[in-house]
Chains A and B, each alone.
Chain A
Amino acid sequence: MTTTSTERRVKGGVGKSIRRADGVPKLTGNCAYASAPFHDRMLWGATLRSPYAKARIVRLDVTPALAMAGVLAVLTQVDVPG
């Protein structure tokens, strides 16, 4: 007797136990997270936040910050419109 079994011909992912593509990098410490890259002469940024929940910026003097050693740039709302 000849029978034809209806084999599952799963070629995609459904029904299969798939190993995660990023499993090995994460298990070996080699996964590149956003916080991971460090480069020579990399610049560091810091955010100055308002101490007030609701207020209008009347004046912003960045001159003292720019005068500090190692400070390359100070960005304000003028640099980031909108």
Chain B
Amino acid sequence: MPLRTIIQIDVIGDPRTATVAGSESLLTTLREELALPGAKNACEQGECGSCSVLLDDTLVCSCLVMAADCDGTTVRTIEGVAEDGVLTAVQQAMHVAGAVQCGFCTPGIVIAASDLFAHDPHPSPDTIREALAGNICRCTGYGAIMRALEQVAGGSS
């Protein structure tokens, strides 16, 4: 049997305990142990960004983080972005702009964009592109995503 470790993490405001295998990724723990499938599993090698979460307020690909290293951390997933069911400005703008197609990249885009706007409320288009460089949309819906985020960047906040 592989080594298993008990970790305690704070996920979107809820203290959670999980028993994780030695090599298990944080993404696997979130999706399969904690029943939070919002972060998506696509490339499993940190290329696509669909598994993006905030780990202690740092944007990470949860597929590249070992769950056993997350004991005592705070993890924010897409499930915790909209508070009380109210869409954030990023989510609302993406909804209106038609920036959601198949939706597989969407949680990662929302997390990455939210992280950007938390640090820079009015980023330039180039800064937005740079912030999303790690998020691949295979519907290639980048135009609508950019329009949505540029609108957020230009708005008052």
Binding site for B on A (CB under 8 A): 17, 19-20, 22-31, 33, 35-38
Contact = CB atoms under 8 A, between A and B. Distances in A.
Contacts, number: 61
Please report whether the interface of chain B is mostly helix, strand, loop or mixed according to DSSP. Answer: loop
B107 A29 contact: yes
B32 A23 contact: no
Contacts of A33: 37, 40, 104
B98 A20 contact: yes
A28 B37 contact: no
Nearest to A39: B35
Interface stretch (B2-10, B57-65, B73-81, B123-131): B73-81
Interface residues of B, number: 27
A70 to B, nearest CB: 12
Contacts of B41: 35
Given A20-B100, A23-B100, A38-B31, A28 B39 contact: no
B37 A27 contact: no
B94 interface: yes
A23 B77 contact: no
B95 interface: yes
18 contacts: A17-B98, A22-B100, A23-B94, A23-B95, A23-B100, A24-B91, A26-B106, A26-B107, A27-B103, A27-B106, A27-B110, A28-B38, A28-B79, A28-B81, A28-B85, A29-B37, A30-B38, A38-B32
